[in-house]
Homo-oligomer: A and B are copies of this chain.
Amino acid sequence: MNFVLSSIEDDIATVTLQRGKVNALNEPMVEEIDDLFRTLETDTAVKSIIFTGAGKFFSFGFDVPEFLHYPKEDFVYYLEKFTNLCTYLFQFPKPVVAALNGHTIAGGCMLAIACDVRIMASGKGKISLNEITFGAPVFAGSVEMLRFCVGSRNAQAILYSGAMYSAEDALQLGLVDRVSSENALTDDARKVAEEFAGKDSAAFRSIKKLLRKPVAEEMVRHEKDCILEFVDIWYSETTREKLERIKIH
């Protein structure tokens, strides 16, 4: 693992994104996240998981400069991997607490809304699905997970505006469930993860599936067409120009 750290203390695992300054997602990193969660799924010593980022970002989202060099076909393949990861995380059979330590943007926000609970550090960090601001659409997964978290009307407001929300604004919208001070975030996330770890695993797994499987089915039903449309727009001249202005390193 180069871009994702993992540690286990008592029966709680902590997964930490760590790649450059902004934890931008690329293909190997997505594979590592996927591999790690699959390991944690079967590890009977792990009852619940904290998902966080190192530094000032939870995650900036896709590593845009890197993906600008991708041929279309490879990008489609990456997007399939990434959206599959989101669908998998959304239905992960153990509780996952997102501890949003800083900016949580676009693809980073998708990973966050796939979790069971989001606690965000108060301060400079923003959370956003800002795709529209650089001329990109979003995924079926973004829409359906967002609808699950905040309802259709707030989902629309978030996606149409592409606004950057503070932790407090995100709490109002239902995009995060709790705001902690920067210093308290780790402890607060741990407390929530411990509470989850105390629940009956089989009952939790079954209830989570009932809540989320119908949503995941909607995600899967639309995702293939959605990726093709996403890629068409991503490679269009107007969007490409906007993407080339994005610097992340």
When C-beta atoms are compared, the residue in chain B nearest to A131 turns out to be B203
A37 at the interface (CB under 8 A from B): no
- Whether B233 and A210, one on each chain, are in contact in the complex, defined by CB atoms closer than 8 angstroms, is no
A81-100 at interface with B (beta carbon < 8 Å): 95
CB contacts (< 8 Å) of A200 on chain B: these are: 132, 135, 238-239, 242
User: Can you name 19 A-B pairs with beta carbons within 8 Å?
Assistant: A95-B160, A131-B207, A132-B203, A132-B204, A137-B206, A137-B207, A138-B207, A139-B210, A148-B152, A149-B153, A150-B153, A151-B152, A152-B215, A155-B211, A156-B211, A159-B207, A160-B204, A206-B233, A213-B222
A184-226 at interface with B (beta carbon < 8 Å): 196, 199-200, 202-204, 206-208, 210-211, 213-215, 218, 222, 226
Cα A135 to Cα B196 in complex, Å, equals 13
Interface on A for B, CB 8 Å cutoff? Answer: 95, 116, 131-132, 135-140, 142-143, 147-153, 155-157, 159-160, 174, 177, 196, 199-200, 202-204, 206-208, 210-211, 213-215, 218, 222, 226, 229-230, 233, 236, 238-239, 242
- Whether B233 and A138, one on each chain, are in contact in the complex, defined by CB atoms closer than 8 angstroms, is no
- Whether A132 and B207, one on each chain, are in contact in the complex, defined by CB atoms closer than 8 angstroms, is yes
Cα A242 to Cα B203 in complex, Å, equals 12
- Whether B239 and A136, one on each chain, are in contact in the complex, defined by CB atoms closer than 8 angstroms, is no
Most B CB atoms within 10 A — which of A116, A132, A199, A200?
A200
